[in-house]
Amino acid sequence: MTVQYLTDTHGKKTGVLLSIKDWEKIQKKLNTEQLYEDFRESLREIKLHKEGKIKLKVEDKELVRLMKTSVKSGLADKKSVLRKPGIE
């Protein structure tokens, strides 16, 4: 990855230039990590619901359905979604 820095008149770094290809790789990685974090958070909420500690909202129930569909269709791997300690 080639990175070029933009600086102001005092030499302070104010920005970064990189190729579109590198930027797209970064965006893809960030989006994937956010997706997995969202899945893990939803699973934590489902666990709390099963333990009777919280009630799921309608939107949460829809998310549970989407998560199950994602795992079944191969879009998400159950083991990778459950990486966080304490989630079973």
The per-residue pLDDT for range 42-73, each reduced to its tens digit, is: 888 888 888 889 877 656 566 667 767 766 76
Cβ neighbors of 22 (< 8 A, separation 6 or more) are 1, 2
Residue 88 in any domain: the answer is no
pLDDT digits (tens, 9 = 90+) for 20-36: 998 888 888 888 888 88
Domain assignment present for residue 43? The answer is yes
The answer to whether position 8 is within a domain reads: yes
Structurally, how many domains does the chain consist of? 1
Give 50's Cβ-side CA count (13 Å radius). 9
- Domain range enclosing 68: 3-81
What pLDDT is attached to residue 88? Answer: 38
| 63 within a domain of the structure (yes/no) | yes
pTM recorded for the entire structure: 0.41
CA dist 77 → 41, 68, 72 (Å):
15, 10, 9
